[in-house]
């Protein structure tokens, strides 16, 4: 069953939202929903052809106003240009969605210093570049605004085999909470979303290449026994950027069907106990008491 949009039609009308990595995958899904809710949207990434094709389709699908801007978020000069072009087209920017990321799986001892640094540069420094550039603009213009960072549930726990990403996302979460406090006085809210498995072509091919996707059936790891629907993530992102969430600041909202807690609970593995064995187990535990 298709997941419906959660917010009323004009929930983001009048807002301009910049979405990094907005031309593909989850960024595109969120940006498309913002357009449906009346926002003006800027999508930014490194590849002009991908961005332009996406912008055309997204405008046709939603009737919304969208501006594609080429920007490598690792380069602060290009991020300045992203802000300048957004202002030139839409006069103001109300929100920044730090969604662009880079990741690949690897045993950490196989990584070169440059490989580790490349992920930190995109995820942590790229997010910081965008946050600083837009934040300074908002503070200078005494404009309230909102920052939303896409992290991951392993930002809380760390994760083997994606260690640079885990370190960078942990940093982005610290950035989110720190600025929620420091920039709250300027009317700038900072929040994060920690998604669990939401399949996209790009991430799945990088993170689960070959038949790993079959071997690692994410559906089995999630208490709700399914992966996320892109619209479910878009609903949450739109809410957090909307005025309805005006008092939410410094929060990270997990949207993973319960996946990360299942991994954390010491007894969650008892899921594997067949139903009829529980009668015997109950007898044994009651006997142990007497
Ligand atoms: N295993 C080990 N090292 C790897 C690697 C892998 N699978 N992929 C890349 N690297 C290393 C490279 O060898 C290079 O290190 P070196 O110079 O010491 O050899 C370093 O990482 C940088 O790689 P390069 O391809 O030059 O970087 P890039 O900036 O062109 O690409 C990536 C960045 C690697 C993150 C690329 O996957 C990308 O552009 N991803 C964007 C999209 C994305 O990842 N989205 C998130 C999906 S979850």
List the chain domain ranges. Answer: 16-257
**What is the per-residue pLDDT for 264?**
83
Give me the residues of the chain with pLDDT under 50, please: none
**What is the per-residue pLDDT for 265?**
81
Give one DSSP letter per residue of the chain, joined into a string.
-PPPP-S-TTTTTT-EEEEETTTSHHHHHHHHHHHHTT-EEEEEES-HHHHHHHHHHHHHHH---EEEEE--TT-HHHHHHHHHHHHHHHS---EEEE---------GGG--HHHHHHHHIIIIIHHHHHHHHHHHHHHHTT--EEEEEE--THHHH--TT-HHHHHHHHHHHHHHHHHHHHSGGGTEEEEEEEE-----HHHHHHHSTTTHHHHT-HHHHSTTSSPPPHHHHHHHHHHHHSGGGTT--S-EEEESTTHHHHHH-TTGGGGGS-TTHHHHHHHHHHHHH-
**What is the per-residue pLDDT for 114?**
98
**Assigned CATH class of 16-257:** alpha beta
**What is the per-residue pLDDT for 277?**
94
**What is the per-residue pLDDT for 214?**
79
Say how many Å lie between the first and final Cα of the chain, rounded: 51
From ligand 1's centre to the CA of 115, what distance in Å? 6
From ligand 1's centre to the CA of 72, what distance in Å? 14
pTM of the model: 0.95
Q: Whose CA is nearest to atom 21 of ligand 1?
A: 115
Q: Which protein residues are within 6 Å of ligand 1, measured from CB?
A: 101-104, 106, 110-112, 114-115, 118, 202-203, 206-207
**What is the per-residue pLDDT for 64?**
98
**What is the per-residue pLDDT for 202?**
87
**What is the per-residue pLDDT for 209?**
86
Cα–Cα distance measured from residue 248 to residue 102, given in angstroms and rounded to the nearest whole number: 28
């Amino acid at each position: 069953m298709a997941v419906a949009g959660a917010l009323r039609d004009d929930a983001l009308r009048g807002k301009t939202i910049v979405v990094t990595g907005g031309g593909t995958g989850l960024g595109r899904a969120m940006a498309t929903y913002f357009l449906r809710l009346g926002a003006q949207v800027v999508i930014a990434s490194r590849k002009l052809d991908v961005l332009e094709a996406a912008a055309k389709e997204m405008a046709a699908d939603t009737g919304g106003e969208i501006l594609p801007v080429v920007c490598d978020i690792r380069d602060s000069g290009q991020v300045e240009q992203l802000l300048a072009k957004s202002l030139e087209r839409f006069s103001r920017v109300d929100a920044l969605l730090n969604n662009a990321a880079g990741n690949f799986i690897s045993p950490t001892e196989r990584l070169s210093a440059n490989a580790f640094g490349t992920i930190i540069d995109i995820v942590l420094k790229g997010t910081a570049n965008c946050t600083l550039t837009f934040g300074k603009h908002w503070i200078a213009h005494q404009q309230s605004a909102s920052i939303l960072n896409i992290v991951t549930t392993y930002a809380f726990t760390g994760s083997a085999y994606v260690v640079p990403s885990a370190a960078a996302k942990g940093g982005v979460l610290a950035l989110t909470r720190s600025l929620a406090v420091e920039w709250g006085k300027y009317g700038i809210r900072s929040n994060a979303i920690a998604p669990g498995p939401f399949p996209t072509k790009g991430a799945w091919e990088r993170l689960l290449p070959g038949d790993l996707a079959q071997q690692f059936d994410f559906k089995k790891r999630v208490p709700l026994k399914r992966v996320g629907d892109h619209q479910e993530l878009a609903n949450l992102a739109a809410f957090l950027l909307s005025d309805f969430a005006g008092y939410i600041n410094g929060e990270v909202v997990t949207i993973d069907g319960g996946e990360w807690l299942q991994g954390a609970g010491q007894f969650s593995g008892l899921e594997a106990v067949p139903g009829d064995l529980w009668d015997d187990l109950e007898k044994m535990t009651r006997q142990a008491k007497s």
